[in-house]
Structure 1
Amino acid sequence: MTKHKIYTMPFADVYPHYIAKAERKGRTKAEVDEIICWLTGYQQKEMNEHLEKRTDFETFFAEATQMNPSRELIKGVVCGIRVEEVEEPTMREIRYLDKLIDELAKGKKMEKILRS
């Protein structure tokens, strides 16, 4: 079985799109970074290193050893797929991130997005 092409895509190639989506709706890069760090457990410096190294999505999530346990509270649909029903672990993490960025762009408060 071949891997989905998103797995081999550098996280740094998609990151600007997350920021652009948020900024179009009046949100900030800092909020996008906060979401990514909350989800993955990376510190800002570690995330920046992955961006500089152009780490692919699969490695980006595989090396995130402190994935937030509250991420399992993320429910809903992204690209017509219910995130809680995605079986492949790496794809589920990617969909969680997509869902969080969607919620940010839709104007949800950070406390709700971060499941506080």
Structure 2
Amino acid sequence: MHRIFTTSVASVYPLYVAKLERKGRTRAELDEVITWLTGFDREQLAHHLEAGTTFEDFFAAARLNPLAAQITGSVCGVKVQEVEDPLMRRIRYLDKLVDELARGKALDRVLRT
């Protein structure tokens, strides 16, 4: 099992925020990306962050967006579409969406609309 599975989403969330804010993006955009991917509303997302939910439990409770399979490309040299473990693939989807936002991609393109 990967260590990230038992890591709380709340411990990684501020790192996502910091990365995006350095690039001129906002926490609201990050929240929109996360809610799009997971099907959680903002209240549910806030609850998971406050509760210290692990990535494993976070994605177990999520209703993954049907368009998530369109998320392709590499994160840390690994193609997300080739990641075998379903949980790790979902975590990589989130990483990829954050990377796309940080690189200045328009939000509607990041959300595959």
Q: What range is the shorter-chain TM-score in? A: over 0.9
TM-score scaled by structure 2?
0.99
Q: What displacement does 1:88 show?
A: 0.3
SS of 1:71's equivalent? helix
Decide which of 44, 55, 58 is 1:46's aligned counterpart: 44
Structure 2 unmatched runs, 5+: none
Output the TM-score relative to the length of structure 1. 0.96
Cα offset, 1:115, TM superposition: 0.3
Distance 1:112 1:45 in 2: 24
Match of 1:75 among 72, 75, 88: 72
Moved segments of 4+, more than 4 Å: none
Q: List gaps (5 residues or longer) in structure 1.
A: none
RMSD: 0.4
2:12 partner amino acid: V
Q: 2:83 maps to what in 1? A: 86
Q: Which amino acid letter does the alignment assign opposite residue 84 of structure 1?
A: Q
C-alpha distance in 2 between matches for 1:99 and 1:11: 16
CA distance in structure 2 between the partners assigned to 1:84 and 1:13 by the alignment: 25
Q: CA deviation at 1:7?
A: 0.4
Q: Distance in 2 between matches of 1:45 and 1:111?
A: 22
SS at match of 2:84: coil
